[in-house]
Amino acid sequence: ETGVTQTPRHLVMGMTNKKSLKCEQHLGHNAMYWYKQSAKKPLELMFVYSLEERVENNSVPSRFSPECPNSSHLFLHLHTLQPEDSALYLCASSPQGGAGNTIYFGEGSWLTVV
């Protein structure tokens, strides 16, 4: 139990589908993140939210749309994805958004786009 819960753990979707990944943190943190992990590539930061405000969008295509309704919940809305978007999507949180705050990860959502 990491304190960061992601659902679903596995998702298979077609390129025309619309789906969402959900993340909830139980750590009382103020910052939340989405990372993408592809095979044999370093973890890539996608989005950062601090106090429910998006503070970082790391040149992510618009087919990925984040939503942070409150400091405990984070969503990643997916639509018209490509097969190369298949990856492990990791949600994370930290006490604050500033550098030097330890980031704690969830177990990830495995996404396969067919």
Partner 1 sequence: GESVGLHLPTLSVQEGDNSIINCAYSNSASDYFIWYKQESGKGPQFIIDIRSNMDKRQGQRVTVLLNKTVKHLSLQIAATQPGDSAVYFCAESNTGFQKLVFGTGTRLLVSP
The site for partner 1 (CB under 8 A) is made up of 2, 4, 6, 31, 33, 40-43, 45, 48, 50, 55-56, 90, 92, 94, 97-108
Residue 80 region by backbone torsions, left for phi larger than 0, else alpha for psi between -120 and 50, else beta: left
Structure tokens at 61: 């295509």
Nearer to partner 1, 13 or 103 (CB): 103
Beta strands at 31-37 and 109-113: parallel, antiparallel or unpaired: unpaired
Of the pair 6, 68, the CB lying nearest partner 1 is at: 6
In whole angstroms, the minimum distance from the beta carbon of 34 to partner 1 comes to 12
Shortest gap between Cβ of 62 and partner 1 (angstroms)? 21
Q: Which is nearer to partner 1, 4 or 68 (CB)?
A: 4
Phi and psi at residue 58, in whole multiples of 5°? -85, 60
C-alpha–C-alpha distance, residues 52 and 43, integer Å: 23
Q: Which letter does DSSP use for residue 103 in this model? A: P
**Nearest approach, Cβ of 58 to partner 1 (angstroms)?**
8
